[in-house]
Amino acid sequence: MIVFKNVTKRYDNGTIAVDDLSLEAPKGRITIFVGPSGCGKTTSLRMINRLIAPTSGSILLDGQPTEAMNLAQLRRKIGYVIQHAGLFPHLNVVQNIATTARLKGIAKKQALLIASELLERVGLDLSFGNRYPWQLSGGQQQRVGVARALASDPEFMLMDEPFSAVDPVVRHQLQEEFLRLQRDIGKTIIMVTHDIDEALKLGDQVAVLRTGGVLAQVASPKELLSNPADSFVADFVGRDRGYRYLSFVDAASSLAVMIEPVVALGTEAAAARIVAKDQWILVVNAAAQPLGWVDLDRQSGPLRESDLNLSGTLASQDHSLRQVLDAALSAPSGRGVIVDAGRVLAGSVRLSDVVAAIQSAKAAGWGGRP
Amino acid sequence: MNFDWLAGEVDDIGNFFAWHVALSVIPVLVALVLAVPIGWLVKQSGFLRPALLGTVGLLYTIPSLALFVLLPLVLGTQILDPLNVVVALTVYTLALLVRTVCDGLEAVSSDVLQAANAMGYRRIARFFRVELPLAVPVIGAGLRVAVVSNVSIVSIAALIGTPQLGSLFTEGLELHFLTPIFTGIILCVALAVLLDSLVLIITRQLTGWQPRT
Ligand SMILES: Nc1ncnc2c1ncn2[C@@H]1O[C@H](COP(=O)(O)OP(=O)(O)OP(=O)(O)O)[C@@H](O)[C@H]1O
Ligand SMILES: [Mg+2]
């Protein structure tokens, strides 16, 4: 557990970056610091491993005040991922990852072994191991940065905008990988971001800071969305928080999934019309995985790959109502495609049924994920 | 070119060449070892840094002949002692390399230093395992300048009688004879190219991590 006790940081030029911050980051959980630029997120993070000394107050790691600890030893307990990765340009990827393990006194061979394993855990192929940092994309560098922080198996992790340097698609991918990893390793993590969506998605607990370094609210994502402490938090969490809240409601219980007729590629349009519910027919591959929709009103002859409308998103039954709603909204047929864990078609849901499910979930006080 | 003369003098010329190599290389090695800690100190010195670098740079403006003549008084050596030349060239090389080392260390990105601090590197380990390796490209470039200019400055020492390739120039002048002069020039240039390539190869070996353009 990481505890902030009345921590204040006033820089030499008089700027108060963090103002009387008190906060607990529970063991094995992800705590997110979020807030507008300049609100003191990075400063708060760096005070934990004393890259910056607090002006007053104290920070405790598992009950021990950090100011009483040896600086190098304190830092070796804490994995730190800085923005833009900060990799060592003169070491290849595996050597970079191994550095933290080496600092902890692990023998070279063993450290390199750990590094290779971690490379795969963060979703990079082993062949990346002997590349140098300049031979990697920004997103790949950030993964190596995360792997390096993990290599010493630290009790705590501090991450400063670790997924910022990448496009939304890769970012989403990195976030998913990160959540999967955390389910295995269960570290005590504090992560900084200024992306509220990222905060709500990754955080077990989210601390919203306002300019001047004042803590506005610290709560679970669900609580933040349904019960913002003040208008600043409400604004920051966003206008579409009603919609976002659906991310935290399970679809499984309340949803009526219908059977959806399907055809394979190559089927004649005339034959497809016979099974179709309306002008739209869903095309699947041999493994019954959905490929896309075809508009039979505009179709003659066999259905080809180029005829597919790919605009619909897929949702899984154990996904949130937000994803199911999105699937229904994005499907040209108005029927959201539901798949199982193996991406195999489970059926479809009508938009009106999703709305009904949302209504009943709301009426029942949002029974769903904690 | 008078090849008969060359054939007769080959032993002497070999001797001059060996001296020339020693007088050019030893000062570079000594200066490098000194320049690393001094460069680091200068880099740490904050607002004193421009003043310190200026002072070090001034050393380079002392005429070499003056230094060769003055050093025996300072060191208490004989005027003909090759040590004078070694010390003088070490001073010049140091003047060059302190700035180079300082620049090289300063070129290390602050992100990288911060990452090293955050990981718990102690100061000395951080210097040798992170900062110095990353300063090698800049230091290597400075070393190339230093060895080449040393090869040419060493020949001036012929004027105070230290044996090396420059002795061929004085000899040629005295005898009104061009062969030794040409021989001296060719061997000096060859030596400069050789040492320069050597430094380049070593630098490349140490900087395999850099993108090659
Ligand atoms: N070394 C410093 N000296 C003086 N003021 C500083 C220093 N570092 C940061 N500040 C100021 O402290 C405040 C908080 O900075 P900090 O870097 O913690 O913000 P942040 O929340 O991480 O912002 P961002 O989202 O832009 O990274 C800012 O107003 C900043 O200008
Ligand atoms: Mg920041």
* Residue-range domain boundaries for chain B: 3-206
Q: Which ligand 1 atom minimizes the distance to the CA of A52?
A: 1
Rounded Cα distance between A290 and A346, Å, is 10
Classify A229 as helix, strand or coil: coil
Nearest to A89 among B112, B114, B117 (CB): B112
Residues with CB under 6 A from ligand 1: A 11, 13, 15, 17, 37-43, 194
* Ligand 1 pocket mutation pick from A4, A10, A34, A41 by most atoms within 8 angstroms of CB: A41
pLDDT at A160: 93
pLDDT at position A186 is 92
State the Cα–Cα distance between residues A330 and A311, nearest whole angstrom: 6
Which residues of chain B neighbour A90 with C-beta distances below 8 Å?
130, 133-134, 207, 209
How many angstroms does the Cα of residue A212 sit away from the middle of ligand 1? 10
Find the residue in A nearest to B113 (Cα): A86
Q: Given the CA of residue A43, which atom of ligand 1 is nearest to it?
A: 18
What does the pLDDT read at residue A244? Answer: 81
Residue A194 reports pLDDT greater than 70: yes
For residue A213, the ligand 1 atom closest to its alpha carbon is: 14
* pLDDT (tens digit per residue) in A26-83: 999 999 999 999 999 999 999 999 999 999 999 999 999 999 999 999 999 999 998 7
Nearest CA in chain A to B121: A72
How are beta strands A16-25 and A2-10 bridged, if at all? antiparallel
Q: Residues A274-308, buried b or exposed e (16+ Cβ, 10 A)?
A: eebeeebbbbbeeeeebbbbbebeebeeebeeebb
Q: What domains appear along chain A, each with residue ranges and CATH number?
A: 2-248 (3.40.50.300), 262-361 (3.10.580.10)
Query: What local confidence, expressed as pLDDT, does residue A220 receive?
Result: 94
Q: Is residue A18 classed as helix, strand or coil in its secondary structure? A: strand
pLDDT at position B213 over 80: no
Query: What's the mean pLDDT when you consider all of chain A?
Result: 90
User: How many of the other CB atoms lie within 10 Å of CB of A186?
Assistant: 12
pLDDT at A368: 44
The pLDDT of residue A166: 75
Sign of CA dihedral A251, A254, A259, A260: negative
Percent of chain A at pLDDT > 90 equals 67
Q: Is A226 exposed, middle or buried (0-12, 13-18, 19+ CB in 10 A)?
A: middle
> Residue range A180-188: average pLDDT?
92
Residue A367 has pLDDT above 70, yes or no: no
What average pLDDT score do residues B41-59 get?
Answer: 87
Measured at the alpha carbon of residue B146, what is the angle toward residues B144 and B150, in degrees to the nearest 5?
Answer: 120
Residue pLDDT, tens place only, A340-350: 878 899 999 99
ipTM above 0.90, yes or no: no
Residues of B in contact with A92 (CB under 8 A): 209
In CATH, the architecture of B3-206 is: Orthogonal Bundle (1.10)
Q: Is residue B44 classed exposed, middle or buried when 0-12, 13-18 and 19+ CB atoms within 10 A define those classes?
A: exposed
CA-closest residue to ligand 1 atom 7: A11
Cβ neighbourhood burial of B8 (10 Å; 0-12, 13-18, 19+): exposed
pTM score: 0.79
> Which of A119-123, A144-148, A346-350, B40-44 is the least confident region?
A119-123
Which residues make beta-bridge pairs with A280?
Answer: A295
